[in-house]
Chains A and B, each alone.
Chain A
Amino acid sequence: MKLTLFFGSYLFCLTFCQAQRIVVSSIESRPRLNVNEKALHFSPQDTLIRLPYRQNSLLIHFKSPGKLPVYAYGVRWLLAGTITTHDSVLFLPNLPNGEFIISISDLANPAVQSARLRVIVESPLWLRWWFLPLMFLFGLLFVSAALYLLYLYRLRQFLQMQRVRDRIARDLHDDMGSYLSSISIMSQTAHRNALRNPEKTQLALASIGQTARQVIDRMGDMVWSINPAHDSINDVLTRMADVGNSLFGTTDVVFNLSVAEAVRHVSLSAEVRREFFLIYKEAVTNVARYAQASNVRVAVEVTGSGLVLTVQDNGCGFDPAQPDYKNPGGGNGLRNMQARAKLIGGELTIQSTAGQGTTVRLIVGQGGA
């Protein structure tokens, strides 16, 4: 009778309990403070849950159909062994990123199938494979940009050096070369005429002396314009005053150089400085040589148009359209001034009327302000 009852119970369990299993009824994620979390969607049929990194605290509710269940659960790759409890709730706080398999069985009802659930906690961004390469890429981008700009800067320095060398070579060829050729030719003339025509020889020797002084003068200008010690506008102004004083200091001509305060804050590039100074020098030299003026006024100021140089005299004046070349070998002075002004993007105007003096005005535009 007892044996029949036992087999009867066993068959009952086989038919009813075997088809039943522990059901994970709900899963909640525990919210963190100040974090807007998305709701976790779970249905009892799900066997896989994917969790974002910030939703890694889980509360799992489960239920066994058996009577008086005693649960044993394990979390593979997180817990070393299984935990036995009567509670039908499992709390897993702060799950590390990775994959876990949660298995829950009913020890009191062995016929009830255990529940298995895979939980994947996604890695935070900084632990994903692409994060460090991306950061490296950003670093590389910044360093590459910096190196590229440095390369451009070095190239620029090289090109500027080439430019200065070209300019020096051109000046040496154009100025010094022509002067030295003149000296050579005049010395040959002097040599030929030394015994036959002493007067011509003296003239030739005087010309040689004058040309040599011009060479020294041009050489001085060239060296001065290259020297980085003379980069400031104050050096230009000082040299302008020196030139004016050397030309008019021993004469009765009143020379007046006025410089506006704003000019002291002007920064000139080496090329502009050089051309600006040479235009000024040509202008005051012309006044000293040809104008027969008693008063020379030079003004340097900054206006809306740029840096303005004005050289004004009360001399004899001339017709700028048809200048009367008083130097038989000359005539290049005005053209050179115009060429220099054009070279630096400036504007040179010469206003003159016979008997009413001359005004030379140079405007150099501003850049980079």
Chain B
Amino acid sequence: MTFYDVIDILFMIFFGVILWPVAVGLRQWMHIGKANQLLTIFLVLLMCLEIYAYVLAIFKIRNHYIHYLNTLLIIWFTVFFYSIGKKNVYPSYLLAAIVSICIPVEIIVLVGYNNINTVTEFVARMILVVYAFNALKSIIKDLNDSQIHQNSNLYIQLGLFIYGFFSAITSMFKKYFIETALDLYFFCDTLSFVMGAVAFCLFAIGLRLSTSKKINTYASL
């Protein structure tokens, strides 16, 4: 067993944490809100893509095109997730459409097929980070919610912020590091997987809390 095999096992363990929020989400499916159902679907799809990529890697088939699907998943999840309950959703959809169109453009013009789409992947994840950060700000600024530690949305947004931020940074150099410095690639991947595990734990906590009804309305003082 080589050092890289050990790292591979660690990756699987860290990524395996995703099963926790997925299990909580599916178990409480009827009791969680629409946004949390969407989050559960997102996590399931993310897990499927990662498993598919891993199977391809086992058979030594180049799997970098998975990143295109991953980018699409993240950008469309972001706009759908943050559009729930909003009135003017078209700017968000337009943003997602632009990023989606830019993926084939980047593939054809810049990187070539089956190479990582660094730019659009980074942009999609940073959009998620910006949305999550704004949502976190709104949650904290909302004084009507007197029990913020019981707010499921706080944990979910924090998870999305951490997941988006660290995966965005590592995605910037992933393509370059894969081809030039494997040790740095593994360092980046480890960092994103560890922080991903933290985010998945936060999702699980958020989904668990969302099943308890919360009466928080406080019209005015």
Which residues of chain A have a CB within 8 Å of any CB of chain B?
A: 34-36, 53-54, 124-126, 138, 142, 145, 149, 152-153, 156, 159-160, 163, 166-167, 231, 262, 265-272, 302, 306-307, 342-346, 364-369
Contact = CB atoms under 8 A, between A and B. Distances in A.
B88 interface: no
Interface string B148-180: 101111000000010001000100010010011
Contacts of B61: none
Interface residues of B, number: 39
A152 B137 contact: yes
The 4 closest A-B pairs by CB, nearest first: A345-B217, A367-B216, A269-B146, A345-B219
B213 A271 contact: no
Q: Which of B146, B213, B215, B217 has the most CB of A within 10 A?
A: B215
Nearest to A153: B140
A369 B210 CA distance: 5
Contact of A344 (B112, B151, B214, B218): B218
Interface in B111-163: 112, 115, 133, 136-137, 140-141, 143-148, 150-153, 161
B213 A266 contact: yes
Given A159-B143, A368-B152, A126 B213 contact: no
9 contacts: A35-B179, A36-B179, A125-B176, A145-B161, A267-B212, A269-B215, A342-B219, A344-B218, A344-B219
A145 B133 contact: yes
Contact of A307 (B140, B213, B220): B213
Interface of B: 33, 112, 115, 133, 136-137, 140-141, 143-148, 150-153, 161, 165, 169, 173, 176, 179-181, 184, 210-221
Contacts of B144: 269, 367
Nearest to B153: A368
B148 A267 contact: no
Contacts of A342: 219
Nearest to B150: A267
A132 to B, nearest CB: 13
B25 to A, nearest CB: 14
Q: Which of A54, A166, A367 has the most CB of B within 10 A?
A: A367
Nearest to B151: A368
A54 B140 CA distance: 47
B176 to A, nearest CB: 6
Given A265-B211, A346-B217, 16 more contacts: A35-B179, A125-B176, A126-B181, A138-B169, A145-B165, A149-B140, A156-B140, A167-B221, A266-B213, A267-B212, A267-B216, A271-B146, A272-B217, A367-B215, A368-B145, A369-B210
Contact of A366 (B153, B180, B215): B215
